[in-house]
Amino acid sequence: MVETKIKNQVIEVTIWATGVLQDAEGRDTANCIAAAAAQEGKHVQAFDNYVDLPDRVNVPVRKYARISSEEIQEKYLYENDHPNIVVLVEPSLIKGYNILRGMPEGGILILNTDRDPEELLKFVPNKELLRAIATVDAKVDEKIVDDFMDIEGASAKTLGRGIGAVLAGAVAKVSGEYTLESLKKVVQNKEGAQKGYDSVKIKQL
């Protein structure tokens, strides 16, 4: 975990993925994050960006989660304008997109890749906003992915079946906004959650 938690009242988490191929995985990651935080009595939201076009292959899409110790007033704002945590399901989106747009100083970036954080830092726009960059190899068994991609959205039964559990495990470790134990209570892929927590590489800035 990085040295201190984010101190904003509402923590905004933005997940970037690519349309069709990763739409369900991005949504599942947001739902895992929100469900884990809810286990600790926090107020949460998880939702899609309805401006994006997930029905087009490889078009960038965004999914969102929000976490707060108090009731969230921004119930009808359907984009995160000031993300504190950004997660890239598709790491190549680091090139060509202002993925940290609107981030206040002291943010966190987590990428789904087996590369080291130092390798990727040079590609990050506005890197001075970050207090930590982290990478985690979120690959899971291909059969799990195939089964998961047949499911539209995520229900309580299927939550955290694919790579969402791994990425949410990494978010737990880097941000400290919820515990691994809370995450394991809500995800199906508990080994994946543990993997994300244990194997994430963190570079503090």
Instruction: Give 162-193 pLDDT, tens digit per residue.
Output: 899 999 999 999 999 999 999 999 999 999 99
CATH topology classification for 10-204: Pyruvate-ferredoxin Oxidoreductase; domain 3 (3.40.920)
Measured distance CA(80)–CA(197) in Å, rounded = 25
pLDDT given for residue 199 in this prediction: 96
Q: By the 8 A CB rule, do 93 and 124 touch? A: no
pLDDT given for residue 73 in this prediction: 82
pLDDT given for residue 2 in this prediction: 54
pLDDT tens digits, one per residue of 109-131: 999 999 999 999 999 989 999 99
Q: Which of 33-37, 67-71, 131-135 has the lowest mean pLDDT?
A: 67-71
pLDDT given for residue 50 in this prediction: 67
Q: Which two tokens mark 130?
A: 């970050």
- This prediction has a pTM of 0.89
Q: What is the DSSP string of 88-145?
A: ESSGGGGTTS-TTTTPPSSEEEEEESSS-HHHHHTT-TTGGGEEEEEEE-----HHHH
Backbone phi, then psi, for 33, in 5-degree steps? -60, -50
pLDDT tens digits, one per residue of 18-66: 987 788 999 999 999 999 999 999 999 999 886 666 667 778 899 999 9
Provide the sign of the torsion angle of the four alpha carbons 30, 35, 36, 37, taken in this order: positive
pLDDT given for residue 156 in this prediction: 45
pLDDT given for residue 96 in this prediction: 84
pLDDT given for residue 49 in this prediction: 81
